[in-house]
Amino acid sequence: METSVVEELDVLVVGGGFSGIYQLERLRSLGFSVKLYEAGSDAGGVWHWNQYPGARVDTEATLYQFSDERIWREWNWSEVFPGQEELQAYFRFVVDKLDLRKDIRYSTRVTAAQFDEDTNNWTVESRDERTRETLLTRARFFLPLLGTGSKALVPNIPGLEDFEGDAFHTSRWPKGYDMTGKRVAVIGTGASGVQVIQSIAPEVDHLTVFQRTPATALPMISPRLDASANDELRQRYPDLFKDRETTFAGLEYDVIFTPTAEVSDEEFDATCERLWAKGGLQLWLGGYADMFFNAEVGKKIYDFWRQKTLPRIEDPILAEKLAPAVPPYPFGTKRCPLEYTYYDAFNQDNVDLVDIRETPIERITPNGIVTADGHEHEFDVIVLATGFDSFTGGLTDIDVRSTKGESFAEVFRDGARTALGRATAGFPNILYVYGPQSPSAFCNGPTCAELEGDWVVECLVNMREKGLTRIEAAPEAEQEWHDHLDTLAAATTFPLANSWYMNANVPGKKRELLAYPGGLPMYLEKCRESAENGYAGFVLS
Ligand code: N01
């Protein structure tokens, strides 16, 4: 590292999403010197990166926002599930309203970091994406708050680099790219794929969807919110923000804990109908909790979902591919995307589906995609809606060296290790929010950004008051946390699915559940216990 140090800080926050912005604002207001670096060129976190057509949040805006009154007093949402542009505008508003812009460096990608055991400081190397200049930053605490979707997963399909049309991942969509009249392939049918497919189907010349596993998409119902609806919401916000920590996923609604064995078939069906009519993720994260423990309950909910979905698809062969009689995985063990016209799109003459379990993709040629039946499908554009190396991909991408000289990729080779989902032994003064082994993927992002974030803020304040300069996860606490997660996960049906929750989407990655499956209230209780016991599970000095 030859370049000179440009900044000396108490805290360097990396990532401009909900977690990063929350830390920057709170720590700065408490007198810490803190800066935020973000690789993207503008505000928004994932909402800056994911500019694909139809990108839209699928948790209700009521709780998909900061709880800071200075923001929600003034900000009005236009609908319940706002689109990407509105979400990015929200982030810009927050950054300006709280005067954060002067402490954020956009277009700055953190590439490496080393810890100095004598001074208990990190030296962090970053690259200015505009000038290509290398920056060095020295900080006592280094908070890589990278979310679950910062590392795009580009599949290793032979020939991809030879394709002569345009090929890009949904999270690297060229801004404003026009699909009109093009022959398009979309690989992947998760939440991103479903949104892209339903949005571009009406405008492209031809769309071929390459499906590996069918989605169990639920209806998104997004009423418009006028000024008076926003005023009404403002009356409710204080209670909503207070109560969110009592629910499993940090949402306005909770799963139903009543055992389904105690529920009549009529009541079960009536409940599913009620949740279906509400739309959004209600059938899943507001449904019977038993579905996560008992595959038979998952099957009943799947059958309900299928009976609602089949009438939407005209061709019976296609219907069986999109909503097969045998569930492809227990309902709920893969994330339910939300849709408006996804299933209807397949009734259009210009939309085809290739089931790549039947006819796998063999290779990509300069002209298109060759499948195992020898057919070459020709395209102008290939969209990779193939998801992310979630939970740890953002961390392992940075060359951070532990006190033993190992990278995160090396330390996590046999699985991620953390105490409380907060820190990893060998990486002192690095703390995570919404990281591996925290509720993350099972928790509404802003809820966990703030509630987990409060633990970090209080910890740093506590250390400052006591004159402490170093915090590190204890290896025995990591083992305990690992075993606790393992026990919880083994009781659920999640291990039965090849999902990104299980890391099954990333070839070679250890198969394990890295989102805490015990629910937000239990997780927060464990965090509180640790803090009240002098940050049990961590070594402070
Ligand atoms: O990614 P995914 P995503 N060959 O991993 C397929 C959040 N999100 O970007 O299921 C062929 O879910 C893969 O197939 P399979 C949300 O938390 C939120 O869609 O692994 N296919 C799957 O169909 C979400 O869960 C919002 O068999 C391959 C798809 O690609 C998370 O981000 C919007 C393949 C990937 O689906 C990720 O969603 C969007 C290969 N080699 C995303 N590799 C909103 O809030 C993967 N696939 C609205």
Helices (H), 424-495: 445-466, 475-490
Binding pocket residue ranges, ligand 1, CB within 6 Å: 56-58, 149, 155, 170, 187-193, 195, 212-213, 335, 356, 385-388, 498, 500, 505
In a domain, 507, yes or no: no
| Residue identifier of the C-alpha nearest atom 29 of ligand 1 | 188
Residue in 500, 503, 509, 514 to alter for ligand 1 test, most ligand atoms within 8 A of Cβ = 500
> Is 90 exceeded by the pLDDT of residue 462?
yes
419 neighbors 428 (Cβ within 8 angstroms): no
In a domain, 145, yes or no: yes
Query: How close is the Cα of 402 to the center of ligand 1, in Å?
Result: 31
Q: Report, as an integer, the average pLDDT of 214-242.
A: 98
Query: How close is the Cα of 505 to the center of ligand 1, in Å?
Result: 9
| CA within 13 Å, CB half, 294 | 10
**Does pTM top 0.90 for this prediction?**
yes
CA distance 329 to 295: 9
In a domain, 138, yes or no: yes
Name the percent of the chain lying above pLDDT 90.
Answer: 98
530 neighbors 478 (Cβ within 8 angstroms): no
CB count within 10 Å of CB 301 equals 24
Q: Residue 468: its pLDDT value, please? A: 98
CA distance 387 to 441: 13
For the CA of 384, the closest atom of ligand 1 is: 30
CB count within 10 Å of CB 204 equals 22
| Residue identifier of the C-alpha nearest atom 37 of ligand 1 | 387
> The domain that contains 49 carries what CATH number?
3.50.50.60
What residue numbers bound the domain in which 420 lies? 3-151+389-471+519-532
DSSP secondary structure of 220-270? ----B--HHHHHHHHHHHHHHHHHGGGSTTSSSS--B-S-GGGS-HHHHHH
Query: How close is the Cα of 215 to the center of ligand 1, in Å?
Result: 9
Question: Encoding tokens for residue 121?
Answer: 């400081």
Residue 6 binned pLDDT confidence (cut-offs 50, 70, 90): confident
| Residue identifier of the C-alpha nearest atom 8 of ligand 1 | 191
CB count within 10 Å of CB 245 equals 15
Q: Residue 470: its pLDDT value, please? A: 98
In a domain, 109, yes or no: yes
Q: Report, as an integer, the average pLDDT of 441-458.
A: 98
For the CA of 170, the closest atom of ligand 1 is: 9
Residue 395 — φ and ψ, nearest 5°? -70, -45
Closest CA to 18 of 433, 312, 469: 433
In a domain, 482, yes or no: no
Residue in 386, 442, 443, 496 to alter for ligand 1 test, most ligand atoms within 8 A of Cβ = 386
Query: How close is the Cα of 441 to the center of ligand 1, in Å?
Result: 13
Residue range 96-149, pLDDT digits in tens:
999 999 999 999 999 999 999 999 999 999 999 999 999 999 999 999 999 999
> Is 60 exceeded by the pLDDT of residue 332?
yes
Q: Residue 511: its pLDDT value, please? A: 97
Closest CA to 285 of 259, 262, 256, 307: 256
* ipTM entry: 0.99
Residue in 79, 156, 192, 284 to alter for ligand 1 test, most ligand atoms within 8 A of Cβ = 192
In a domain, 129, yes or no: yes
464 neighbors 476 (Cβ within 8 angstroms): no
Query: How close is the Cα of 121 to the center of ligand 1, in Å?
Result: 37
Domain count, the chain: 1
Task: Give residue 203's Cα distance to chain centre.
Answer: 28
Q: Report, as an integer, the average pLDDT of 271-278.
A: 98
Q: Residue 1: its pLDDT value, please? A: 45
CA distance 60 to 65: 9
| Residue identifier of the C-alpha nearest atom 5 of ligand 1 | 387
| CA within 13 Å, CB half, 116 | 11
For residue 341, give Cα distances in angstroms to 196, 198, 220, 246.
11, 6, 10, 34
How would you classify the pairing of strands 34-37 and 381-384? unpaired
In a domain, 331, yes or no: no
Considering the chain, what is the average pLDDT of its residues? 97
Query: How close is the Cα of 278 to the center of ligand 1, in Å?
Result: 24
Report the interhelical angle of 18-29 vs 84-97 (nearest 10°).
Answer: 10
Residue range 238-273, pLDDT digits in tens:
999 999 999 999 999 999 999 999 999 999 999 999
In a domain, 222, yes or no: no
